[in-house]
Amino acid sequence: MKLGSLRFNPPIVMGILNVTPDSFSDGGRFIGREAALRRVREMIAEGAQIIDVGGESTRPGAQAVSVEEELERVIPVIEAIRSESAIPVSIDTSKPEVMRAAVDAGASLVNDVRALREPGALAAVAERGVPVCLMHMRGEPRTMQQAPRYDDVVAEVLAFLEERVAACEAAGIPRERIILDPGFGFGKTLDHNLALFRALPRFAATGLPVLVGVSRKSMIGQVLEVPVAERLAGSLALASLAVWLGAAIVRSHDVRETVHAVRMAAAVRGESPQQED
């Protein structure tokens, strides 16, 4: 499977780079060009094949960030990464202004927790001609975990993503440039998250690459009763299961360990190594 310069056979790992002061797991650790670059170099050495740069936390209760502040956080970092590496960079944003500026600075993928629902976002991605990851989120980060309810979480999330794919195609974004993300932890209870995880084959059956982002998330803490710092084992278990169930991309804080887990799961599935053209 291939999307632009990205290939998903076997599945790949997306390394998380939060240049924010308030992200739930690593907020504040990688603010600043040099700290961010050091982390990027580490993740590349550990096997990351995409770096996902985010300048606004989307954890439950997170506060909104202005366009100007988000640009100040992410653009220098993207430019710095691009100055020394050809690794694909994803911009984790919902703001069309940030999408355009990030792509112009060297990002090659837009990763949007709001699935291009903000005014102008569809046009921004269509104009720049880059792939996009569409994620499902019910509500907004500040309130999304306040008693979310679904009649059928799997059917409703699938229907939402199918509608957003149709909106993308209508806006001039071809289906071949679209990735799907069920949005684990974004307006979902533990039971919702587990049901969606079991249903990953249904998302993969759309024929579109599926991204799974569960690294260190609260669903692990709820099942294992451990704090964020002790969720590596749970994260790796879910990464392996995600690949087994059809995920193409696993988004992770712990790149080296996740790359190892993903490769083993892919080997058992019989996925062939990536080949150069």
Work out the burial of residue 22: count CB atoms within 10 Å of its CB; fewer than 13 is exposed, 13-18 middle, 19 or more buried. Answer: middle
pLDDT at 230: 96
Instruction: Specify the long-range contacts of residues 29-32, CB closer than 8 Å, at least 24 apart.
Output: 31/73
* For residues 65-85, average pLDDT: 94
**Is 115 within 8 Å of 157 (Cβ atoms)?**
no
* For residues 182-196, average pLDDT: 95
Q: Is residue 6 part of a domain?
A: no
Q: Is residue 190 part of a domain?
A: yes
CB-side neighbour CA atoms (13 Å) of 187: 19
Q: Is residue 274 part of a domain?
A: no
Structure tokens at 75: 């653009």
pLDDT at 5 over 70: no
Closest CA to 52 of 235, 141, 23, 118: 23
Residue-wise pLDDT tens digits, 192-240: 999 999 999 999 999 999 999 999 999 999 999 999 999 999 999 999 9
Q: Is residue 271 part of a domain?
A: no
* DSSP characters over 183-228: -TTSS--HHHHHHHHHTHHHHHTTSS-BEEE-TT-HHHHHHH---G
Q: Is residue 272 part of a domain?
A: no
Structure tokens at 44: 């590349």
pLDDT at 63 over 90: no
- pLDDT category, 129, cuts 50, 70, 90? very high
Q: What domain count does the chain have? A: 1
Closest CA to 215 of 236, 229, 195, 198: 236
Q: Is residue 1 part of a domain?
A: no
Residue 152 φ then ψ, to 5°? -145, 95
Q: Are strands 178-181 and 132-135 parallel, antiparallel or unpaired?
A: parallel
Q: Is residue 270 part of a domain?
A: no
**Rounded to 5 degrees, what angle do the CA atoms 88, 126, 275 make?**
35
| Mean of all residue pLDDT scores within the chain | 90
**Is 217 within 8 Å of 185 (Cβ atoms)?**
yes
pLDDT at 144: 61
Distance CA 93, CA 124 (A): 12
* For residues 34-58, average pLDDT: 93
- pLDDT category, 256, cuts 50, 70, 90? very high
pLDDT at 274 over 70: no
Distance CA 6, CA 12 (A): 9
pLDDT at 97 over 70: yes
pLDDT at 6: 67
- pLDDT category, 26, cuts 50, 70, 90? very low
State the residue range of the domain holding 51.
11-58+65-265
pLDDT at 30 over 80: no
- Angstrom CA distances, 134 to 69, 88, 112, 168, 208, stand at 23, 18, 6, 10, 11
Q: Is residue 37 part of a domain?
A: yes
- pLDDT category, 272, cuts 50, 70, 90? low
- pLDDT category, 90, cuts 50, 70, 90? very high
The enclosing domain of 92 has a CATH number of 3.20.20.20
Q: Give SS3 for 112.
A: strand
pLDDT at 4: 64
* Residues noted as catalytic: 217, 251
Residue 251 φ then ψ, to 5°? -95, 130
pLDDT at 277 over 60: no
Distance CA 16, CA 50 (A): 9
